[in-house]
Each structure stands twice: as structure tokens, then as C-alpha cells.
Amino acid sequence: MSASSDFYVGTSGYEDTRRLDELRATEYRHLDEHGQIYLDYTGSGVAAAAQLRAHVERLTSRCYGNPHSENPTSSASTALVDRARERILAFFNASPDEYAVVFTANATGACRLVGEAYPFEPGARLVLTGDNHNSVNGLREFARARGAGIVHVPVRGPELRVEGEEVGAALADHRGLLVYPAQSNFTGVQHPLAWIDQAHAHGYDVLLDAAAFVPANRLDLGRTRPDFVPVSWYKVFGYPTGVGCLVARRDALARLRRPWFAGGTIQAVSALGDWHVLAPDETAFEDGTLNFLSIPDVEFGVDWVDGIGMDLIHLRVTCLTDLLLRRLAGLRHSDGSPMIRLYGPDGTDRRGGTVAFNVLGARGGIVDERIVARDTAAAGISIRTGCFCNPGAGEGAFEIPERALRLTAHRRMRTLDDYLGVLGLPSGGAVRASLGLVSNIADVERLIGFLAAAYRDREPDATGLKPRERC
């Protein structure tokens, strides 16, 4: 560690999180054994060895079968799935009388469940913040198809936040659905949970995208009560993938109208009579056979994170985010010009551990994000580049006028690069480093050292880069 990092350890509260270093050396030792610098926690958490041991032990201790039956192996699976539901509700301090857990493949699947069944209609409104993942932005297609109004509230200012006054104005004189992230997957901005009560007071339901928030922050559904909360569990503790859920208020779930039914979702059905009755509980939204061999791993993962302590994880991520922001700001070319352009807050107030930036070359221009992706990968550093499936935050970061964006909708372009050229953008996106449960100071210092060595006083060569395929 550098001298500045040694000083930081002694003054930031980081010393109080040393237990996480012990865990990294034991349960997460594969990170260091392979020399990987993992800074993509917003993309996915990292699994502990204990999680994998628990999975193998469970599956080798007895046989489990498809839950939709009364036979012994089926009943064993049903019991574990029900335990996982209960554990998730406890994790969020959500009353089982008020909230239900619907298992999905991921947060995207949870969003789609809401979008396809929500009672959009003429006169109703879907309010979207400009800072939203595409899995949320896609809800507008359901709203548009049913004649509902669509309002986007943009991000503004150097911190790329959404103005509360503009949210309030969008909610006035209508009813419908407000959708926003508790934490941006682009900038790390944490948006006010107080908007939930504000929206309810205006007659709105609220879908709170918690996918980027819950890995390092406590979400208490006993205090703040959104109607729908999509979660991807691999983002919280790395394993299992392919299991997410929709945590939903039971009264809000009852207002949804599913456009179809499937195996496992019905109480009764007739083929020749052409009628069906959906199940009276959350299983009405769980199409087909659940991932019954992996859902129990969620219970173990939640217990694992709770055993570590969300407050401890939050403190570690906050400390390292502060260090990363400071160190990025300190990167300079020899003439004193900055090497980094940051997108979002430059401090830890109302922000999480997701940090987006671009590298600036010696002449002040943005270094193509594909160059950074190529070079960091070669150095064994896992970060992410692009627009991170969040076009609204990217449009705000690059200050693209709305008029220009609307004009491009009517032009036929073969590639994403053509689209960027029409808009006059210097790059196809940003660089994102995100911190999590077992990140440490060495991870931050390795990234900073690499950026300094690779790009200080240089204009990197962009020849040979592959065309951009998608945002």
C-alpha cells in the first residue's frame, strides 16, 4: 500500500472492517490465488466457498424433486422453497401479511411480470426517471400499448441526480406507476426512498429497482413500503445465478392482471370449456417449474450476508468508494491536467460503490472505452465499460440534447458506431469500477496504478479495435 493508503486505513473507519479481509483470505481466496482484481460488483457479487460447499452437501444428502406434487422428494423441495421465501421476507424486514415473494430468473424477469400485468390504461401514467436500467425502461412498451402516458424525468447537474421537484410535478394530477432505482447502476447515485410515500399520496404504485442497492445497503420494507421490488440474488452474494425475485405487496399483486397462464400458476383450468382460475397466492406468477435446486441457495446466501453484517459491508464499501474517488481525482498528467472525467457524485454522500468515469488522454480527449477494456483485461482487472444498459444516465453524462436523440430515431444506421457518429459522441460509453463485500485497498491501488502507468502523458493507439455491437 502507498503511504496515503496507510494513512487512510487509520482514519477512515476501514480498520473496523478487517474481518472482511480475513474472509477474503479464506472463503474468497480464489480471487487472490488467480491474481484477479475484481471491480465489477454491480455486475455480479462473488461467491464464497462456503456457499458452494453448502450446495453440494444439500444435493448429495438426499433427493429433491419437482415441487408440484405430494411425493416425498417433491415435498422436500417445496419445504425448502417456502423456507427461502420466509428468509427473504425476514431479510427485508417485510411482514408476510403485507408482502409476498415471487421467484423469477432475475430482476429483469421480475420487472416484466409487473409490466405485462399492470393495469395501464388511458389517463394513467408511467413515470420513469432518466436514471433507469433498460430492464425498467422496457416497461414503457407495455404502457404505450395500452394507451397510458409516459413521462421521463431526466438526470441533471454534475452529480447526475433526478430533481425531486420534477418528480413531484410528474406525479401531479394523474395515477399510475412510478419506477426508479434505489441506486443507479451507472453512477452509484442513491435516489430518495421518500419518493415512495410521495407517490402513494398521489395515487401511484411504486416499483423500486433494488438490484444495485441491496448488495451493500439495508432495505427495510417495514419502514419504506414500495409496491414492487425486483432483486437479482447473484448481485448480492454471487451464487446462485438464474434466481431472482419480485418482492411485492399483496394488495398490489392482486391488482395485476396476467395476460396468460402456465403450468404451476392455476388453481383450475378447462381446455374445452376455455376458462381458467389462477392460484390465489404468489404462485400465480411463477411460470412452470421453479429452479428448485438453486432457490435454497438463496436462503444460505442471505444467512451468509446477515452473518457478516450488512452494516459492516456498507462501511467497507463506503470507505473504499471514498478512497477510489480521491485517488481517481488525484490522477494527473505531467502538465497538471486531469486524467479522469468522473460521472456522478465526487463524494460518498447519497451514493453507493459504483463509480463511472472516462480516462482522458494527454491532449484532454476521452480515451476510447474499448481501449481501456482491452488493456485492463490484459492486466487481469475486471471492470466494465459501455453504457451499462442505462441510456438515460449516459445521455445525461455526455450531455446529449433531447432533440438530437429524437432525430436519430428516424435515421437508419447499420451499427452502434454509426449512431455515435451522428450524435458526435467521443466514446461509446464510460468505464465502471464497482466495489463490494470483499473488495480491499489493494484492489483500488492496483487499478489506480494501472491507469497511471498505462495512460499518463499518452494518447493510446485505437487501431485494431473491434466495432461496437450493442450498448
Q: Which of the residues are catalytic? A: 389
Distance CA 18, CA 363 (A): 41
Contacts for 276 with CB less than 8 Å, ≥ 6 apart: 261, 266, 268, 269, 270
Distance CA 226, CA 178 (A): 10
Cα 206 off chain centre by: 17
Cα 199 off chain centre by: 22
Helix then strand then coil, in percent of the chain rounded to 5, is 40, 20, 40
Cis peptide upstream of residue 460 (ω within 30 degrees of 0): no
Under the phi-then-psi rule, with left for phi > 0, alpha for psi from -120 to 50, and beta for the rest, what region is 123? left
Helix (H, G, I), strand (E, B) or coil at 357: strand
Burial class (CB in 10 A: 0-12, 13-18, 19+), 189: buried
- Residues 366/360, Cβ–Cβ less than 8 Å: yes
Parallel, antiparallel, or unpaired for β 275-278 and 266-270? Answer: antiparallel
Distances (CA, A) of 2 to 8, 17, 21, 297, 336: 10, 19, 18, 39, 21
Distance CA 373, CA 381 (A): 9
Q: What is the dihedral of CA 96, 282, 197, 112, to 10 degrees?
A: 150
Distance CA 428, CA 451 (A): 19
CA triple 373-378-380, angle to 5 deg: 95
- Residues 285/234, Cβ–Cβ less than 8 Å: no
